[in-house]
Amino acid sequence: MGKHKLNWITGRKKTQPEVPYETPVWLGNLSNGEFFKEQTARERKIREQVLERCDEYARRKGMERREFIASTMGMATTLSVLNLAAGCGDDEGMLSRNTVDAHVDDQDAAARGDGGTSRRTSGSEGGFAVNEEMCLDEAMADRVFKSQYFILDFQTHHTNEGQPGLCLSMENGGAECTSPSTYVRQIFEESETTVAVLSGLPAEIDEVTNDLSPFAFTNEDMRTSRDRVNAAARREDGAGERMVAHCQISPKNKPEANARMMIENKEKYDTRGWKCYPPTEGGWFLHENDAFIKTAIEVGEPLVCVHKGFPFQGWSRVHANPMPDVGVVAKRYPDVNFVIYHSAFDSGHEEGPYVEDPNPDDGGTDRLSKVITDNDLKNKNVYAEMGSAWAIAMRDPITAQHYIGKMLKYIGEDRLVWGSECVWFGCPQNQIEAFKAFRISDEFREKYGYPEFTDQIRRKVFGLTGAKLYRVDPEKCRYQVSRDLLASRKLILDDRWGARRHAYNPPVIRTRKQYIQLWRERIARGEIG
């Protein structure tokens, strides 16, 4: 690796703090502002093992340890330790050479479009397809982590310039850590995201402006950001749509004002899809406040994204549960697509095999699986979105296999969509790379009836399924992106600073104190009760 590849480490200003030696998969406290997950003793030990092993491998390779851990070899080593901690693979956390080879062959074949070995079983181990050779051979690691996909991220966020949002500590870089410029850098210049959906935050409606409260991140803010990014991406031939904007709605708050806001956003600004938060505003159910769904149909945009799971402190846990209302509205409105954000995941629930009678307050994704099963909705008009759910699940390969396995089995192989919920978690590239190496074991498939996780399914989840919902042509989009100005800038920055400069991008909230402070500020602004 040439010295210029370390510029993101060595080329920092003297006034900037030194880049720490840290794991590429964040293993500390985790929060998206709606939950706070404390680092466990197990995760602390895993982190220590990753750092120790990467230090050893770096010395064997004659590399600076931060250079090594930021490389694809460092990512492979990190995933091998996660395998080890979960009991996947051998005593070193490595899967067999045959399994890794078959995994890479499947990716290569799917990239060519010939299906490859996706119809056969390749190896028995689940978790992450890495082996020791990959941990010490950058070219081999690159074959997995640099494989190409069309990626449509269903859930991304940022705040306005200078607006703190989730950034409440100056030690985190102040408002800069969630600013529009940070968003563009982390989503488009440091990750492989092809198209991003910019989503909003819960807020009340201002009837004067036909928008959300001006103290919130408004629909106008989202449209402005979308237009700015797409203008930056376009060449003279007009190529390049890199961002899609939601219209954030508030159905219970003011139904008439809500309808006016929806009509204006669709007709004047061509926003796509509607985002709502049933656990807020004292809590409400979709089937009891469905006027906005009728408006969505009337304006020709029948795509509703619904927050379920992760009940923020002060929100209604009852209304974060999908079981009372999702099945009702999905059957009532069969021509409307309902995307359940977070897959109804809950940070306090340990994902395991499907439970037929899940706890309604804390039953995790089993609640969504039950909705689909009880209402015969598999592969119909209900989708599961992965934001925050994958960021948590990927830290434990057993949890990850149960989460993805259940979604594919019960929701449907064409009904799981990619979401990172970044920039709350920093750059999404580590989530992307972990998903590239992910597989479900033969043991779990036989025992729990999970489907084989082929690379064809991976491509659907990463973007092909989402593209249909947002009316994006993946092939045309990939061709345009290969020629747009954002992609050109990414190549220039990769060459100047190093392509792996995303490796250390911690989440915005890292302490319980910051999380509580955010909760208090939201109450003060009237966002929650």
| Separation CA 19–CA 504 (nearest Å) | 8
Beta-carbon contacts of 467 under 8 Å, excluding residues fewer than 6 positions away, are 150, 152, 195, 473, 474, 477
Out of 213-217, 233-237, 380-384, pick the least confident: 233-237
Which residues have CB under 8 Å from 405's CB, separation 6+?
Answer: 440, 444, 445, 448, 450, 451, 453
According to DSSP, the β-strands at 337-341 and 303-307 are parallel
Residue 354 in any domain: the answer is yes
Residue at which a domain ends, from 421, 450, 483: 421
Residues 417 and 504 in one domain: no
Q: Is the pLDDT score of 527 beyond 60? A: no
Long-range contacts of 295-298 (CB under 8 A, 24+ apart): 295/258, 295/259, 295/262, 295/263, 296/262, 296/336, 297/333, 297/335, 297/336
Higher pLDDT, 354 or 232: 354
> How much is the mean pLDDT over the chain?
89
Range of the domain at 301: 277-421
- Last residue of some domain: 392, 421, 450? 421
Q: Which helix H or strand E contains 206, and what residues bound it? A: strand 205-206
Whether residue 260 is contained in a domain is answered as no
List pLDDT tens digits, range 406-437: 999 999 999 999 999 999 999 999 999 999 99
Closest CA to 504 of 128, 153, 33, 173: 173
Both 415 and 504 in a single domain?
A: no
Helix axes 219-233, 485-497, angle to 10 degrees: 80
Task: Report the domain count for the chain.
Answer: 2
pLDDT per position as a tens digit, 276-328:
999 987 899 999 999 999 999 999 999 999 999 998 777 889 999 999 999 99
Whether the per-residue pLDDT at 196 is higher than 80: the answer is yes
- Given a cut of 50, whether residue 249 has pLDDT beyond it is yes
Q: Which two tokens stand for residue 303?
A: 């795509």
Return the beta strands (E) in 43-170 as ranges.
Answer: 127-128, 152-156
User: Is the same domain home to 308 and 401?
Assistant: yes
Residue 157 covered by a domain: no
The pairs formed by 216-220 with CB atoms below 8 angstroms and a separation of 24 or more are: 216/525, 216/527, 217/159, 217/160, 217/163, 217/165, 217/248, 218/248, 219/245, 219/247, 219/248, 219/261, 219/265, 219/269, 219/271
Residue 339 has pLDDT above 90, yes or no: yes
- Is residue 263 one of the residues assigned to a domain? no
One domain, residues 381 and 512: no
**Domain-terminating residue out of 421, 437, 459:** 421
- Picking from 508, 524, 360, the residue whose alpha carbon sits closest to that of residue 426 is 508
Please report how the helices 72-86 and 138-145 are oriented relative to each other, as an axis angle in degrees rounded to 10: 80
11 with 129, same domain: the answer is yes
Residue 281 carries which side chain, given as an amino acid letter?
A: E
Distance in angstroms (rounded) separating the CA atoms of residues 20 and 365: 35
- Residue 490 is predicted with a pLDDT of 87
Question: pTM of the predicted model, to two decimals?
Answer: 0.94
| Inside any domain, residue 361 | yes
Q: Is the pLDDT of residue 515 over 60?
A: yes
Q: What is the pLDDT of residue 204?
A: 87
User: Does position 144 have pLDDT exceeding 50, yes or no?
Assistant: yes
Confidence of residue 254 (pLDDT cuts 50, 70, 90): confident
| pLDDT score at 1 | 45
Structural domain includes residue 377: yes
Domain co-membership, 412 together with 506: no
Give the pLDDT score at 232. 85
User: Is the pLDDT reported for residue 12 higher than 90?
Assistant: no
- From 349, 381, 388, 379, select the one nearest 365 (Cα to Cα): 349
Whether residues 45 and 137 fall in one domain: yes
Residue 483: is its pLDDT beyond 80? no
pLDDT of 151 over the 90 cut: yes
Q: What's the rounded Cα separation, in Å, for the pair 505 and 1? A: 21
Task: Decide if 529 is inside a domain.
Answer: no
Span 476-481, average pLDDT:
81
Q: Is residue 84 part of a domain?
A: yes
